Amino acid sequence: MSADNCTDIESRLQAVHQRIAAAAGKAGRDPAGIRLLAVSKGVGEAGIRQTIATGQHLFGESYIQEAVDKLAALADCPDLEWHFIGPIQRNKTQLIARHFDWVHGLDRLLIAERLNAQRDPARPLNVLIQVNVSGEASKAGIEPAELDALVDGVLRLPHLRLRGLMALPSPDLTQASLQFGQMAGYFQSLRARCPDAAIDTLSMGMSDDLELAVVAGSTMLRIGSAIFGPREYRRAAPD
């Protein structure tokens, strides 16, 4: 990676932190309570290492084989936290359970049961339930009415740790703002319903809508292009 590209990542990351701080200030929130997940799919090892050098340690990946290769290449970097944020296929649950610290897109009990069975019991897997808050057929996630049942099922699995909810809103910012508000309500209801669980994470907000998400109460932002710029996802074979 060229020095110019490295500088670009550093300056973009700084700009993202400034946006988060400004949005948090508008909402009367402490920006320290908002975690930044750098979505590094399509980013090579050099780019991730440069991001790590700025102090970033949370990374999100969507393509399992690409991610596993990166995890192996970056094994010398301590204290990294890897989040799987893509759709979860049945035949990929073992790799996800083995390599990742978090899963964001849980929306089926069958997948939860497979991850639980394949996870090292000494290291419970942090999971977020994805809610299809926009109602779009093209998006994964459960319907809000199905949330309680899936929560009950996940809480019975000893090798998973339910941490909260995740959503992909409409690309229309007006609709997204309303949907972020709905998610904040579901999140607060979940916390009240499960006082003994470690429900502390509401994963919503990306490069184009992070301010709206912060104002609504997001505790984790998934930011890709605002940090790494446009990327082309070219893989030898599909995951």
Q: Six-digit token pair at 34? A: 């908002």
Q: Check which CATH number belongs to the domain holding 125 and give it.
A: 3.20.20.10
Looking at residue 164, its pLDDT comes to 98
- 82: nearest Cα among 121, 52, 112: 52
* Residue in the structure block whose two tokens are 């299809």: 132
> How many structural domains are present in the chain?
1
Q: What is the pLDDT of residue 236?
A: 39
Residue 53 is assigned to a structural domain of this protein: yes
Q: Is residue 238 part of a domain?
A: no
**Cα–Cα separations (whole angstroms), residue 162 to 10, 14, 198:** 33, 31, 7
Domain hosting residue 51, numbered range: 3-228
Only one residue has tokens 């994963």, namely 203
Position 236 in a domain: no
The set of long-range contacts for 139-142, using a CB threshold of 8 Å and a minimum separation of 24, is 139/168, 140/87, 140/105, 140/107, 140/168, 141/105, 141/107, 141/166, 141/167, 141/168, 142/107, 142/108
Query: Using CB atoms within 10 A of its CB, is residue 167 exposed (0-12), middle (13-18) or buried (19+)?
Result: buried
In a domain, 140, yes or no: yes
Strands (E), 35-177: 35-39, 58-61, 81-84, 102-106, 125-131, 160-167
Please report the pLDDT score of residue 135 as a whole number: 80
Residue 209 inside a domain? The answer is yes
> What is the CA 234 to chain-centroid distance, rounded?
22
**Residue 237 domain flag:** no
**Has residue 170 been placed in a domain?**
yes
pLDDT at 10: 93
Quote the pLDDT of residue 134.
Answer: 85
Output the pLDDT for position 137: 77
Q: Is residue 208 situated within a structural domain? A: yes
- Binned average pLDDT, 10 residues per bin, the chain of 239 residues: 62 97 97 97 94 96 95 95 94 97 96 98 98 85 95 98 96 95 97 93 97 98 94 46
